[in-house]
């Protein structure tokens, strides 16, 4: 069974850092681009970042570019999101998602359960 399991969320002060992880199982991880999508409390979905299967190409939303870094360890089937200089508006549930065909621009057919990030003093 294909599964994604996020971890690493929590409460952090403005300006602080947090690292999210997503453990993948049930598929050949290195063959698929992966993405992060977030959802602020009571709000809609926002695409955050994507990374190619090899890890050689990365993409970011303007709202996080320069502050967030996406990476992956294909030997450990793990996707990561390093979040620095966090702001109150980064408060959200963060989901990792797998594309259907494997490209970074694709329908997301598998989603993790999400991990909550709260940025507050």
Contacts with other proteins, 42-61, as mask; x by CB under 8 A: --xxxx--x--------xxx
Give the nearest distance from C-beta 13 to other proteins in angstroms. 26
The angle at the Cα of 63, spanning 60 to 64, to the nearest 5 degrees, equals 55
- 109 binds other proteins per the rule CB under 8 A: yes
Give the nearest distance from C-beta 89 to other proteins in angstroms. 16
List phi, psi (to 5°) of 31: -85, -5
Give the nearest distance from C-beta 30 to other proteins in angstroms. 21
By CB under 8 A, the residues from 60 to 89 that bind other proteins are 60-62
Rounded-to-integer distance, Cα 48 and Cα 38, Å: 7
Query: Per CB under 8 A, which region of 19-27, 38-46, 67-75, 79-87 contacts other proteins?
Result: 38-46
Task: Please list the residues that pair with 76 across neighbouring strands.
Answer: none
Rg of the chain (C-alpha set) = 13
Rounded-to-integer distance, Cα 20 and Cα 89, Å: 17
Give the nearest distance from C-beta 62 to other proteins in angstroms. 7
């Amino acid at each position: 069974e294909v599964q994604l399991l996020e971890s690493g969320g929590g409460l952090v002060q403005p300006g602080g850092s947090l690292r999210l992880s997503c453990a993948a199982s049930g598929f050949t991880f290195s063959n698929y681009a992966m993405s992060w999508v977030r959802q602020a409390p009571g709000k809609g979905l926002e695409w955050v970042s994507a990374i190619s299967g090899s890890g050689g190409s990365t993409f970011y939303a303007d709202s996080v570019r320069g502050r967030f870094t996406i990476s992956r360890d294909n030997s450990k089937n793990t996707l990561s999101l390093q979040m620095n200089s966090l702001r109150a508006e980064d408060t959200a549930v963060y989901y990792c998602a797998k594309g259907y065909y494997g490209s970074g621009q694709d329908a997301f057919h598998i989603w993790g359960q999400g991990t909550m990030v709260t940025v507050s003093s």
